[in-house]
Chains A and B, each alone.
Chain A
């Protein structure tokens, strides 16, 4: 028996691909060595956003509820229960995992538990079973590199290990520069821990537009997160002494060091020589490796670390196997950051446009005077549209708003159909809504 496709890894890259392949009638097997849903569902996107939501509710109740007219509680008694927030998170994760399992069954996808080994470009070994297949899809994801430093046992917490019943001490240090690092730093800040963010390099959120980044830096600093730049990502120059990371000129209290360093591809065991570049499997624009029948999608190919991009890559591969070739434009996928307020961005950043010498125009509109935002008590932020001067094409959009990660979908639709800023201005938005600001920015840009 031969499979059309054997998928290694059931994260958002693997499972979305498996379900689509099954729907299109391909004989599909998916191999998972741990939990269905991978990093995103079990230890990443879903749990981290879930605990962030708990923290936001905590803050809202503690600091805002009274002003909304809610009475009957003593502010001093309001606390945050980590255990309960994890319990709630587990419930969500379980439900979603069961959902994926159901879709596998419904669409004829065979789920195999075990660790895969690629034997040849057309065969995979799992659990002493040799699967013959026309195509292999590697979707094994990525994980943080370990912090290579002499630190006491138990001090370093890997993100995959975070979401469990544990004591959360007072002094939290997060090491990393990416969005996840910022999100987690903010989470601990929201539950009123003392947080230091150690940033390897000179910037947080390297993918964000610098305008957005500056905005977020200010916001973080104002909320009490201490940011230290240009820290070595193995903490060289630091020693751990008396509950603190100590260097020549710094003493950072640290009871808990969260590792959110750069990620590296999780490479599957393989008897074929896949080309590896900087710790990731090298692929072409159709995500084919140096073997035409072997594809690599998601984090493991190093092109992006976003779940929705991994899924989109998977759908592209299914089309490719089916002989449908279309270009995939990674610029037209939203980049979401679940900070408070949320940040979302799509398309070109202003830095990229400047570098390419493009003629562009920036149209910005603030959340400040938006009725719905005021009602919700969340009127910080803005919508920023970058459009081409000649035709008005929408080249990029950045949103900072409490619900920016949802609002960005509209910008995605406009960019998918290559719309102009005039189209945004002409699209009637209901009142009162926060998304009105998007239209206002469009009108601003059409002037």
Chain B
């Protein structure tokens, strides 16, 4: 039989995407899970996998064309579909709704986490935590359909049915009490239109908002500030900047901070951990994937540099260069943003000395790098000119204690004040 695959909803609020590249052509045999097409939406470039195995019978849309969610992408000729499967096809909407792990569901989840990555694909511990965070709330099929239709997060609704099951009426009651979730509408009603500018939330902004709130709600934030004298680091960086430039690699201070952080994380495991409340356990990660917060025109994204502990300064610098280039071209993929274990935000490259960074939940900590500046420092008994790098470290106090936090930042400072030690351990 013929299966028509429509462009799935790959994130709340998103309603269109642009075709970047077709991976398949008409007549081609494909397997379920194979990538069909690369789609660009807002800031994310995502590969759309095929939900079925079969032969591509038709392709809709050329590269550069915009496809709306729900419109056909491809038609797949599926062989040997039995009566039972045909029934399932008769109710595709329902199947998707119920599974949460189907094609669309997976994409939805990936979409939600794309900007502030949390999943560590391929690690055993993670599988359970991913399941937990997407655990189904008890709700009737109709309540789910209504919630989805009206854009209500069903997890927020209090159920009145048996065992707290969310019923259709509960969704309506929730909506009535909390109003439509768009504050724009309220503004529209109360303020003359020429005094404000109304702009729909982008998918990226929604994701940022959601993840920031999730972090503030769930993690017990605690922040420590310190200053490290980095004259030696400045000297080394100046020297290697020229050498690296010949290899067409721009060298900033960031690779040194990344390397110092990765090595410090190896010594202080709690900072590279995650708390799994559902199973009453800590998940200590033996890999060091550090996300770097990147400022783009559209908003914050956090691509991840993987296995930083195993990379040289040159390799780290290359990776940072690559990712910055991708970000500039709006080509950062979900793959690039997955599986971070710790995050660094170097707001100092724009300005500011200290900040209270928001943890990239469910990670345990985030390190903020302020603007490097000359300051008088005391050496022995003399006040001498020094070069200072301000550090702001936010930790989740549920996971990390104060002592551990201080020891961790001390370790980073040791590495940065004496960069040679980065290769001595």
The CA of A388 and the CA of B149, in the complex, are separated in Å by 14
- CB pair B87–A418 under 8 Å, yes or no, is no
The CA of A388 and the CA of B168, in the complex, are separated in Å by 13
Residue A87 interfacial (CB < 8 Å) = no
Contact of A420 (CB < 8 Å), options: B90, B94, B149, B160: B94
Contact of B94 (CB < 8 Å), options: A326, A422, A443, A447: A422
Q: Which chain B residues in 119-169 approach chain A with CB under 8 Å? A: 140-143, 145-146, 149, 160, 165, 167-168
Known: A391-B146, A393-B168, A420-B145. A446 touches B140 (CB 8 A): no
Q: From A423, which residue of chain B is reached at the shortest CB distance?
A: B141
- CB pair B141–A426 under 8 Å, yes or no, is no
Q: Which chain B residues in 48-99 approach chain A with CB under 8 Å? A: 87-88, 90-91, 93-94
Residue A70 interfacial (CB < 8 Å) = no
Write the nearest CB–CB distance from B145 to chain A, whole angstroms. 4
Residues of A within 8 A of B88 (CB): 426
- CB pair B160–A327 under 8 Å, yes or no, is yes
- CB pair B149–A391 under 8 Å, yes or no, is yes
- CB pair B91–A418 under 8 Å, yes or no, is no
Q: From A439, which residue of chain B is reached at the shortest CB distance?
A: B87
Residues of B within 8 A of A419 (CB): 140-142
Write the nearest CB–CB distance from B93 to chain A, whole angstroms. 8
Chain B, interface SS category = helix
Chain A CB count within 10 A is highest, among B88, B90, B91, B143, for: B91
Residue A131 interfacial (CB < 8 Å) = no
Residue A425 interfacial (CB < 8 Å) = yes
Contact of B160 (CB < 8 Å), options: A326, A392, A417, A425: A326
The CA of A96 and the CA of B149, in the complex, are separated in Å by 50
- CB pair A425–B142 under 8 Å, yes or no, is no
Contact of B90 (CB < 8 Å), options: A326, A327, A393, A443: A443
Known: A391-B146, A417-B140. A422 touches B167 (CB 8 A): no
Query: Interface size for chain A: under 10, 10 to 19, 20 to 34, or 35 or more residues?
Result: 10 to 19
- CB pair A418–B160 under 8 Å, yes or no, is no
Write the nearest CB–CB distance from A423 to chain B, whole angstroms. 6
Write the nearest CB–CB distance from A319 to chain B, whole angstroms. 12
Residues of A within 8 A of B142 (CB): 388, 391-393, 418-420
Write the nearest CB–CB distance from B28 to chain A, whole angstroms. 31
The CA of A53 and the CA of B141, in the complex, are separated in Å by 39
State the interface size on chain B (CB cutoff 8 A).
17
Interface 1/0 per residue, A187-217 and B, CB below 8 Å? 0000000000000000000000000000000
The CA of A425 and the CA of B90, in the complex, are separated in Å by 9
Write the nearest CB–CB distance from B44 to chain A, whole angstroms. 30
Residues of B within 8 A of A443 (CB): 87, 90
Interface 1/0 per residue, A85-129 and B, CB below 8 Å? 000000000000000000000000000000000000000000000
The CA of A443 and the CA of B88, in the complex, are separated in Å by 10
Interface 1/0 per residue, A409-447 and B, CB below 8 Å? 000000001111011011000000000000000010011
Residues of B within 8 A of A390 (CB): 149
Known: A327-B160, A391-B146. A418 touches B90 (CB 8 A): no
Q: From B91, which residue of chain A is reached at the shortest CB distance?
A: A422
- CB pair B94–A392 under 8 Å, yes or no, is yes
Write the nearest CB–CB distance from A312 to chain B, whole angstroms. 14
The CA of A418 and the CA of B166, in the complex, are separated in Å by 10
Residues of A within 8 A of B93 (CB): 422
- CB pair B168–A446 under 8 Å, yes or no, is no
- CB pair B149–A447 under 8 Å, yes or no, is no
Residues of A within 8 A of B90 (CB): 422, 425, 443, 446-447
- CB pair A418–B141 under 8 Å, yes or no, is yes
Write the nearest CB–CB distance from A252 to chain B, whole angstroms. 50
The CA of A327 and the CA of B168, in the complex, are separated in Å by 14
Residues of B within 8 A of A447 (CB): 90
The CA of A163 and the CA of B106, in the complex, are separated in Å by 65
- CB pair A425–B168 under 8 Å, yes or no, is no
- CB pair B140–A418 under 8 Å, yes or no, is yes
The CA of A417 and the CA of B140, in the complex, are separated in Å by 6
Write the nearest CB–CB distance from A344 to chain B, whole angstroms. 22
Residues of B within 8 A of A446 (CB): 87, 90-91
The CA of A426 and the CA of B95, in the complex, are separated in Å by 10
Contact of B87 (CB < 8 Å), options: A326, A388, A392, A425: A425
Chain A CB count within 10 A is highest, among B88, B90, B143, B160, for: B90
Residues of A within 8 A of B165 (CB): 417
- CB pair B167–A418 under 8 Å, yes or no, is yes
The CA of A326 and the CA of B161, in the complex, are separated in Å by 8
Known: A326-B160, A327-B160, A418-B142. A423 touches B167 (CB 8 A): no
Q: Which chain B residues in 232-288 approach chain A with CB under 8 Å? A: none
The CA of A425 and the CA of B87, in the complex, are separated in Å by 7
Residues of B within 8 A of A418 (CB): 140-143, 167-168
Write the nearest CB–CB distance from A370 to chain B, whole angstroms. 17
Q: List 25 A-B contacts (CB under 8 A).
A: A326-B160, A327-B160, A391-B142, A392-B91, A392-B145, A393-B142, A393-B145, A393-B168, A417-B141, A417-B165, A418-B140, A418-B141, A418-B143, A419-B140, A419-B142, A420-B142, A422-B94, A422-B141, A423-B94, A425-B90, A426-B91, A426-B94, A443-B87, A443-B90, A446-B90
Identify the 8 closest CB pairs spanning chains A and B, nearest first: A418-B140, A422-B91, A422-B94, A391-B145, A418-B142, A393-B142, A446-B90, A420-B141
Binding site for A on B (CB under 8 A): 87-88, 90-91, 93-94, 140-143, 145-146, 149, 160, 165, 167-168
